[in-house]
Structure 1
Amino acid sequence: MKYVIVIGDGMGDYPVAELGNRTPLEAARTPHLDRLAREGELGLARTVPPGMEPGSDIANLAIMGYDPQTYHTGRAPLEAAALGVTLAPEEVAFRCNLVTLRAEPRGLYMEDYAAGHITSEEAKELIAALEAQLGGDGRHFYPGVSYRHLLVWNQGDARWKTYPPHDFSGQEVGRLMTGEGGREPLWQLIRASWPVLQEHPLNRRRRAA
C-alpha cells in the first residue's frame, strides 16, 4: 500500500495586521482542506520531542518514524543524502548556505538569509569557486539548490555550534562568530570565503544589476 504524506511545513504562520490579525491560513479559502477535515480523522501529534528545537528537520524525521533524539545530528546529513553524497565515519557535514551580509559601524547584519534567492545555476558557480580556493585539506564543497549547499569536512568537529541564518534575519550576527567551543577553524573558513565571494565576477554582476 502506498501513502501520500502532505506536510504543511510552516503553514501555521503568524497573525497579520492587514488580515485582521488572522494568520494567512485563517484568512484563506480552503475548501479542499475543509473537506479533508470533515471526512477524515483529526488528531494531535507531538513531532518535536521535549527539549529539542522546533524545526522541520526534527519534525520531519519524527513524521517518517525516526526518533529525532536518536537519529538527528543536524540538517546537513539530510542534505548530503539528498545530494547523493556518502559520508565516511570521520567526515562531518555542515549546511553551507549562501547569505547576504551587511557591514555597519555597529556590526555585521544578516541582510538576506537566501542571498537574494540566488538561482541554482548562479550558486553552482560560487560553490565551484569556494571548492577551488578553499577546498582541500579534507574539506569539500558540494552545490545544492538555490542558497542551500553542503560542506563536508574530514575530521571536522560535530560539536561545533552553528546557527540557522533564517533565525537571524535583520539581526547583528558578528557576535556569533567566536572561537568558543573550539569553533575558530570554522569561522576562519567562513571569513576566508568573504573575499572569494565578494570579488567573484558573478556577484559583481549581481550587485551592478
Structure 2
Amino acid sequence: MKYVIVLGDGMADEPLEELGGKTPLAYAHTPYMDELAKMSEIGLAKTVPDGMKPGSDTANLSVIGYDPKENYTGRSPLEALSIGVDMKPTDIALRCNIVTLSEEDTSYENRTIIDHSSSEITTEDAAVLLEAVKKALETDIYKYYLGTSYRHLTIWDKGEVVELTPPHDILGRVIKDYLPEEKELREMMEKSFEVLNNHPLNIERAKKGLHKANSIWFWGAGTRPKLAAFEDKFGKKGSMISAVDLLKGIAVGARMKVVEVEGADGTLHTNYEGKAMAAVKELTENNQDFVYIHIEAPDEMGHQGSTVNKIKAIEYIDKRVIGVVKEQLHKQGVDYRMLIMPDHPTPIHLRTHTGNPVPFMLYDSTKKLENSWEYTEEAALKSGNLVKNGYEMILKLFEK
C-alpha cells in the first residue's frame, strides 16, 4: 500500500454571496474530487490547536503528524533548514518578506501595506533586491539569506523571540501599530524602503504594472527546531514535494526526502503536472511509502482576495494533480490511500488565515465505499465526523 497527501494550502473558505452562497471549493468544477468523494470518508479536522496562531507552519506540522504544541519553535527556523542555514543554539531566525508599501509622501510608519508578495515576485528579481539590502544592512549580528519568491530569511545572532505580525494579516492597513518594538529590526525595515523603493529594478517593475518590492518585513521569529525522524515515528519512508521553504524545511527537520520539481514556484502558475508525476515516481520507482504534495496557490489567491483565481487554483489541483496521480497509480496497478485536505482556511473576505476545522477526504483504492458525499466544507460539517487533533490525521491515513 502506498500513501499520498494532497494538501491545497488555504483551500477551505466561507460561503460567498457572489458564488450564490457557495464556497470556492463547492463552486469549483472538480470532477476527480467529486468522483472520489462518493467512495471516501469525509469529515473535518482541527489542524490548529486552541491558543496557537493559524499559520501554515502549525497547520502543516499537524497534517504531517507532529503535534504543534510539542514541536513548534517558530516558522522561520523551519525555513532555515530548507535554505541550508545551520542555526546555532543562540540564533533566532526571522522570516524576511519583501513586501509592497504605499509610496505617498509620509513617514515610514504611516505607510500602508498593499501586497505581502510584491506581485508574486520572482526569485530572480528578489535576489537582486535582497543583495541590495544585504549590502546596506548586513552585519555580524544580522545575516540575510535568499529563499524563494518573496520569502527570505534573516538570522539574528544571540537574538530573542519577539512578537511580530505576519504581513498577510494586515493587508490594506497602516503599518504603524504593527512594526517591531525592537529598535534595530524596525530601523532595518525603514532603511530597506530607502534602499528599495527607487531601485532600478523596482522602477522597471512599476513600468510593467507590477507592485514595487520596496520594503523588507520581519516576522515568524523562532529557535532551532527539533523534530523526530518521520520514518522512526511512523515506519514509512516519506517524500515532500513543495515549492515553499517552510514545507521543505519541515521535511528536512523530519529527515524526509525533499523532491525538487522544475517550474514549481508556489504561484497560481506552478508546475502542477510536474509535482504529480514526481509523486508517482517517488511511489513507483523510488520505493517511497508516502508522499506529501503541497500546493500553495489557493492560499496565495485567498491572500490576494481573488475569488476567480482561487477557484482556478482548486480546479488545477483537481485536474492536474489529483487526476494525474489517480490515473497514473491506477494505470500501474498500485494500491494506495489518498488524503485530500487544506491545512487551514484562507477566506477571501478576510484575506488571511483562520483556525477553523478544515474538510478532509480519505480515499482507499482497495475499498469500494458508496455514499452520496460531496467534498465541500458543508458536507464535511454535516458528516459529523470530526478529528479533534489534526496530527492524528496521518494515523488515519496509515490505518494505525
Fold agreement, TM-score > 0.5 = yes
Q: 1:154 to 1:37 in 2, by over 3 A?
A: same
- 2:127 counterpart residue number: 124
Q: For residue 165 of structure 1, what is the aligned residue in structure 2?
A: 167
Q: Does 1:153 align with 2:152?
A: no
**Any idea what SS the aligned residue of 1:86 has?**
coil
Partner SS state of residue 79, structure 2: helix
Deviation at residue 17 of structure 1 after TM alignment: 2.7
99-108 vs 35-44, greater mean Cα deviation: 99-108
**Deviation by residue 1:60-99 (Cα, 9 ceiling, x = unmatched):** 1011121211221222112112212221111111110011
SS at match of 2:190: helix
Q: CA deviation at 1:189?
A: 1.5
Number of residue-to-residue matches in the alignment:
205
SS at match of 1:151: strand
Instruction: Give the deviation of 1:143 after TM superposition.
Output: 1.0
The residue matched to 1:42 in structure 2 has which SS? strand
Name the amino acid aligned to 1:173: I
The residue type equivalent to 1:140 in the other structure is K
- Are residue 115 (structure 1) and residue 118 (structure 2) matched? yes
- 74-83 vs 105-114, greater mean Cα deviation: 105-114
Higher relative contact order, structure no. (Cα contacts within 8 Å, ≥ 6 residues apart):
2
Q: TM-score, normalised by structure 2?
A: 0.49
Q: Counterpart of 2:176?
A: 174
Contact 2:113 2:171 in 1 (8 A): yes
Give the CA deviation at 1:168: 1.0
Secondary structure of 2:111's partner? strand
One-letter identity of the residue aligned with 2:97: N
Amino acid at match of 1:201: P
Task: Give the superposition deviation at 1:178.
Answer: 5.2
Report the more deviating stretch, 139-148 or 32-41: 32-41
Describe how 1:16-165 pairs up with structure 2 within 5 A. 16-104=16-104, 107-158=110-161, 160-165=162-167
| Mapped partners of 1:165, 1:40: distance in 2 | 37
Aligned partners of 1:2 and 1:27: how far apart in 2? 30
Point out where structure 1 has 5 or more consecutive residues left out of the alignment: none
Asked if the contact 2:163–2:180 (Cα under 8 Å) also holds between the matched residues in 1, the reply is no
Instruction: Give unmatched runs, 5+ long, in structure 2.
Output: 209-400
- The Cα shift of 1:115 comes to 1.1
Three-state SS of the structure 2 residue aligned to 1:41 is strand
Matched with 2:184 is: 185
Q: CA deviation at 1:36?
A: 2.2
Within 2, Cα distance between the matches of 1:39 and 1:197?
A: 53
Task: Return the alpha-carbon distance in structure 2 between the equivalents of residues 2 and 96 of structure 1.
Answer: 37
In 1, distance between residues paired with 2:5 and 2:69?
A: 22
Kindly provide the amino acid, as one letter, of the partner of residue 118 in structure 2: A
In structure 2, the residue matched to 1:200 is: 199
Give me the CA root mean square deviation: 1.9
How big is the shift at 1:35?
Answer: 2.3
Task: Tell me the distance in 1 between the aligned counterparts of 2:174 and 2:28.
Answer: 34
Distance 2:31 2:77 in 1: 38
**Distance between the aligned counterparts of 1:45 and 1:14, measured in 2?**
16
Per-residue deviation, residues 115-149 of structure 1 (Å, max 9, x unmatched): 12211100001111111221122211111111111
User: What displacement does 1:2 show?
Assistant: 4.2
